[in-house]
Amino acid sequence: MPYDKCILEEILMQSDCRTLTEKGKVLPRSNRVYRLIANRMALRGSHIEPHHVHTIVNKNRNGFKTLITTTFKINTGQNEQHNTINSIGTDLSTNTSSNASVHAHSKKIRLILSPKQWLQISPQKKLSGGRIYWKLKEGWANVIAERICQQYSEIDCVFSFKNNLVTPRSAETYAKFIGYCTECKAKITGRLENAPMKDVDVIFLCYIENICPDFHTGKKKRQLRGQRRENVANKLIEQRKDVVTFRRDEAKRMKKFGGKDLPIIPSAAVLRKAKEQQLLKIYGLQFANPPMNLLHHTKYGKYAGSIHNIGLLKFNCIYWTLEQQQIYVARCKKDPHAIMTLDATGGISKRNSKHDPHVFLYQCMLVTEEGSVPVFQMVSADQRSFQIANFLRLILSKGVPRPPIVVCDFGRALVNAVAEVFGRCNDLSNYLQICYNAVVKDSSVIPASYLRLDVSHLIAMVLNETIQGVTLEGENERAEKGNEDEDSESDDPENDSIASDWNTWTNTIYSKAQEISNKSKTGRIINACFNPDFAHRFKKQLLPYLPLWTGIMRPHFGKGSKIATSSSVEAEFSDLKHRVFKNQLPMRIDKFILQHLEHLDGKIKLASNEVSRINCQCG
């Protein structure tokens, strides 16, 4: 067990335990004084060997040799000058060493703690080696350091406190602590003479010696660690306060106008790191590798069973809660015209390097008469049609009903996957061919789900997302998404030909339009709608996909509104980015997923009323 430094200091200051000669030399190890010191330490419950005492003094550990020299006024050959001032709160002495450039002084202060502050650090029993002793509560050093900064802001020392001692039965000192400045090595000793009374301010008499202002940089900060670090981080998290606002509030509480920057107020970088570490601790993120953390949460923790698949080569994670699945099933049973909207958004995840792929959040929303609700999610760095189809297949593998209507944007990878999985077709071309047979050839065979395109996305695509040099909102995000999509070449309808009878039908209409256009050039016919460029784009980008963006399939499916929109999923993205994760994105992907599940838990509970109602009706 380590020796008690405070007890050793008291014994070394006793006249019969002096370990230095008149010339300041340390007595030899064989001197009986070291055995005497060891015996007195043992009587006080702190065990130490005599030779260890000699080593401590000889090496000047904890400044004991310097303290002995000062206490017994031993002349060590240095020119020292001591000016004693008895009044508390003023400089007591000024010591000038042989180096004239270093100016040192000492100071006495009265440190006043309120009853509430004393309660935070009041002594408690400790048991060690069969011995019961008293110590101030954990976090006492932070309370003392803060009070020093508040009461004596002119003191630039950044103290690191080493030890404290409480002796309730002692008539000399009830409590004592020591500390050292991390820059100038000044020593502070604080004493509380008597046990404090209830609901009365507690006053520590403190003595700071050998303060050297020349060594103070003004940049050193007191370390933010232990319980204080956790408390500060929790305050930032619970109050949703950014670090800049927190520092301003702390300065308002402790700092005086025109005063120096207080070392007790942590830097912005330290506060951000503390907040991040506490969040990782709260969400149980114990591994540096995000997939490993998510793998752990598939079986353990609050959301065990909510993560259904994790991919590593190109990271992806498919997740939804059991409550989301129950609501989806309940609403689909109740409303045969339920609409699933599906879209993706980026900017949610941090990238370790610029070469790492962007990670997108794919969100499925269910829209019924009760409103819209998020039901299934996937984050993925792989935007290929294959990966999206795998996500949709996993949804159906849980035994949930196929959505009657699906609305999405015109990303070819997304549309292909929906047509294949929900439409139960080979691919998008097959879906369009089946629709052509139903419209033109009166076939009774239709796809399993009604696939429609969002109107706003369609207009943006047709207008090439730019009108007279003005970029439409969302252009950058879709462009970035297209760059990351490995199917991006085939995603552009202009660069890909759909193998369906709609092409033949389109070419026929376009040929007739060209005839009218050619006649207009000769001036033999009036054509106020002459626009060859738009006609070419109309042929390539719209007519082959007529069943997706018009209502011609509504009579065949017997469902669907006149205009299709995915505004529900866009509203969900806006809510996530500007409310739930405001000023937090991008973030670690494992942290995002777990916080997203936390958000979904509350949102789904608000929408869960009809689940119990439908279950009762089914029973």
Task: Give the residue extent of every domain in the chain.
Answer: 5-72, 105-211, 226-283, 291-409+564-606
Which stretch of DSSP H or E encloses residue 258? none
Burial of 614 (0-12, 13-18, 19+ CB in 10 A): middle
Mean pLDDT of 100-109: 74
Cβ neighbours, 10 Å, residue 6: 21
Output 93-102 pairs: Cβ under 8 A, ≥24 positions apart: 95/210, 101/214, 102/212, 102/214
Mean pLDDT of 410-434: 94
- Kindly state the tokens that stand for 467: 């009108």
pTM confidence score: 0.60
Can you give the pLDDT at residue 408? Answer: 95
Mean pLDDT of 149-171: 84
What is the Cα–Cα distance from 163 to 179, expressed in whole angstroms?
A: 7
Which residue is listed with tokens 């969302």? 474
Average pLDDT of the chain, as a whole number: 83
**210, 220, 492 from 320: Cα distances, Å:** 63, 47, 31
CB burial of 360-383 (b: ≥16 within 10 Å; e: otherwise) equals bbbbbbbbbebebbbbbbbbbbbb
Out of 2-16, 403-417, 531-545, least confident range: 531-545
More confident call, 297 vs 331: 331
- Kindly state the tokens that stand for 196: 């404090």
Contact (Cβ atoms closer than 8 angstroms) between residue 401 and residue 329:
yes
When pLDDT is cut at 50, 70 and 90, the band that residue 531 belongs to is low
Give 29's DSSP letter.
T
Output 504-510 pairs: Cβ under 8 A, ≥24 positions apart: 505/436, 505/440, 505/543, 506/539, 506/543, 506/544, 507/539, 509/539, 509/543, 510/535, 510/539, 510/543
When pLDDT is cut at 50, 70 and 90, the band that residue 208 belongs to is very high
When pLDDT is cut at 50, 70 and 90, the band that residue 74 belongs to is confident
Name 310's bridge partners.
317
Residue 386 contacts by C-beta under 8 Å, 6 or more apart in sequence? 417
Can you give the pLDDT at residue 90? Answer: 39
**pLDDT per residue as tens digits for the range 542-558:** 788 889 999 999 999 99
3-state SS assignment for residue 100: coil
Can you give the pLDDT at residue 397? Answer: 96
Report percent pLDDT > 90 for the chain.
43
What is the Cα–Cα distance from 333 to 618, expressed in whole angstroms?
A: 11
More confident call, 170 vs 388: 388
More confident call, 93 vs 329: 329
- Kindly state the tokens that stand for 431: 């879906």
**pLDDT per residue as tens digits for the range 476-489:** 444 444 444 444 33
Can you give the pLDDT at residue 475? Answer: 43
**pLDDT per residue as tens digits for the range 19-67:** 998 888 899 998 989 999 998 888 888 889 999 999 999 988 888 888 8
Residue 141 contacts by C-beta under 8 Å, 6 or more apart in sequence? 161, 177, 179
**51, 92, 124, 209, 519 from 213: Cα distances, Å:** 36, 16, 36, 12, 94
pLDDT at 92 over 80: no
Q: Per-residue DSSP letters for 420-480? A: HHTS-SSSHHHHHHHHHHHHHS------SSEEEE-HHHHHHHHTTTEETTEEPTTHHHHHH
What is the Cα–Cα distance from 40 to 32, expressed in whole angstroms?
A: 13
List the alpha helices (DSSP H) in 98-171.
115-121, 140-151
pLDDT at 411 over 50: yes
What is the Cα–Cα distance from 547 to 247, expressed in whole angstroms?
A: 58
